[in-house]
């Protein structure tokens, strides 16, 4: 029982508890409570009302619009746009995770169900996979289910109208009543083969963070060794960002090559992916190296926690996160700007699409570069009297 009297026993128990709390919050806190809410989707209603045989007007598009926009169970924030071109432009600009396009002949197609030659129209569901595969799946499933319910309701309505007029329904009309309109699913900005279902940008960001961290550690130790060997601290520190940027650029190139050559990742913009990954890695390196040069090895705790708190969010749409996780971590972590920029480069046309995230990374990297160079101006630690005497004696 003597072991329970040792301070290290209780200190170790407290440390284990703290580690479990911290890493549990990092790995599970932002993910387990995540659920889609107010996912931006464009709604295009081009439908024109059609006249029924009895003289009534049928406006299916307006009916769908009213039902969809008032459906509280759908985790969607609708934006009404005037044309299909405008909706697709919003998909390209990363403003919408999807779009529902109601064609101009929807009402006419439903009205034709009462005839011997029905002509059902086609409603199009577009999922913006490149923006976020998880959110795109929510859009496809949610809108697909909504269209099934709307189709079933239209079938009942039209069957009642036809039944009130005649007891005989043409075979073609009876078959068409089962599906009063067709639903076509379309994918915008597809992620390509072996892209981890659209999670490749997050994976590359995590690997690049680790590669930059190893580089920062090695050059930090090399700089310390140079100072001990007689080099000036400012000179030893100033060379760290130069060597670090070169190392990180080579590491980014190797990472892109292995992802494509070894693992078959389809990269439509391989060279531009490398350039942006280089920028992200250089920014990571400046953050890591500056903290190491100012705080020493205790900075590793900050860097490791930053990585673990950021990792679960890199492949999640911000609309899925809790308000706390969004405001306290997602809003500022540099890893999400890297992952977001890589997503834009890989799936939305290259570096031009990632300009806003690139500017943020340049700004962060530049600020920490100044801090890193300033670390070289720190006064050296004073030697203790005993150590100073020993060095003078030698």
Decide if 219 is inside a domain. Answer: yes
Domain match, 174 and 282 both: no
For residue 71, the SS3 value is coil
- Position 26 scores a pLDDT of 55
CA angle 90, 94, 100 (to 5 degrees): 50
Domain match, 201 and 182 both: no
Decide if 390 is inside a domain. Answer: no
Cα separation of 213 and 192, whole Å? 29
Domain match, 223 and 181 both: no
Domain boundary among 137, 163, 188: 188
Residues near 344 by Cβ (< 8 Å), separated by ≥ 6? 94, 353, 354, 357
Decide if 32 is inside a domain. Answer: no
Q: Which residue has the higher pLDDT, 8 or 40?
A: 40
Taking only the tens place, the pLDDT of each residue in 49-69 is 988 776 778 888 999 999 999
Domain match, 97 and 147 both: yes
Cα separation of 357 and 334, whole Å? 10
- The number of folded domains in the chain is 2
* Per-residue pLDDT at 165 exceeds 60: no
Taking only the tens place, the pLDDT of each residue in 1-21 is 666 566 775 676 676 777 666
CATH number of the domain bearing residue 47: 3.40.1710.10
* Per-residue pLDDT at 297 exceeds 70: yes
Cα 57 to chain center, whole Å? Answer: 45
* Per-residue pLDDT at 302 exceeds 80: yes
Cα separation of 121 and 112, whole Å? 10
Domain match, 200 and 172 both: no
User: Would you place residue 113 in the very low, low, confident or very high pLDDT band (cuts 50, 70, 90)?
Assistant: confident
* Residue for token pair 């107010």: 38
Decide if 382 is inside a domain. Answer: no
Decide if 6 is inside a domain. Answer: no
* Per-residue pLDDT at 83 exceeds 80: yes
DSSP-assigned letters across all residues of 107-152: HHHHHGGGSSS----EEEEEEETTT-HHHHHHHHHHHHHHHHHHHH
Domain match, 203 and 271 both: yes
Domain match, 304 and 337 both: yes
Domain match, 81 and 182 both: yes
Domain match, 258 and 336 both: yes
Domain match, 315 and 340 both: yes
Taking only the tens place, the pLDDT of each residue in 187-244 is 999 998 999 989 999 999 999 999 999 999 999 999 989 888 888 888 889 899 999 9
Q: What residues make up the domain containing 138?
A: 39-188
């Amino acid at each position: 029982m003597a072991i329970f009297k040792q301070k290290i026993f209780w200190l170790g128990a407290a440390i284990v508890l703290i580690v479990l709390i911290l890493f549990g919050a990092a790995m599970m806190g932002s993910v387990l409570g995540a659920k889609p809410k107010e996912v931006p989707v464009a709604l295009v209603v081009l439908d024109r009302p059609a006249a029924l045989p009895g003289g009534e007007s049928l406006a299916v598009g307006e009916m769908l619009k009213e039902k969809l926009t008032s459906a509280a169970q759908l985790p969607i924030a609708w934006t009404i746009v005037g044309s299909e071109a405008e909706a697709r432009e919003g998909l390209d600009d990363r403003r919408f995770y999807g779009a529902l396009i109601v064609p101009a002949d929807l009402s006419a197609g439903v009205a034709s169900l009462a005839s011997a030659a029905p002509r059902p129209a086609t409603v199009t569901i577009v999922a913006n996979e490149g923006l976020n595969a998880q959110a795109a799946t929510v859009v496809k499933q949610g809108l697909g289910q909504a269209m099934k319910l709307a189709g079933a309701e239209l079938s009942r309505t039209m069957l009642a109208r036809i039944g009130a007029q005649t007891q005989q329904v043409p075979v073609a009309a009876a078959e068409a009543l089962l599906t009063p309109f067709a639903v076509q699913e379309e994918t915008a900005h597809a992620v390509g083969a072996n892209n981890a279902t659209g999670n490749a940008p997050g994976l590359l960001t995590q690997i690049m963070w680790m590669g930059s961290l190893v580089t920062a550690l090695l050059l930090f130790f090399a700089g310390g060794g140079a100072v001990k060997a007689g080099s000036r601290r400012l000179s030893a520190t100033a060379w760290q960002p130069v060597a670090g940027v070169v190392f990180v650029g080579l590491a980014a190139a190797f990472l892109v090559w292995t992802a494509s050559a070894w693992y078959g990742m389809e990269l439509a913009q391989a060279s531009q992916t490398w350039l942006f990954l280089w920028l992200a890695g250089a920014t990571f390196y400046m953050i890591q190296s500056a903290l190491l040069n100012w705080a020493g090895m205790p900075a590793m705790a900050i860097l490791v926690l930053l990585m673990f708190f950021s990792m679960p969010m890199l492949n999640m749409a911000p609309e899925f996160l809790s308000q706390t996780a969004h405001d306290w971590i997602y809003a500022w972590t540099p890893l999400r700007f890297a992952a977001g920029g890589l997503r834009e480069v890989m799936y939305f046309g290259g570096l031009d699409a990632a300009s806003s995230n690139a500017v943020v990374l340049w700004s962060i990297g530049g600020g920490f570069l100044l801090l890193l160079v300033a670390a070289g101006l720190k006064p050296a630690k004073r030697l203790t009297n005993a150590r100073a005497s020993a060095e003078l004696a030698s």
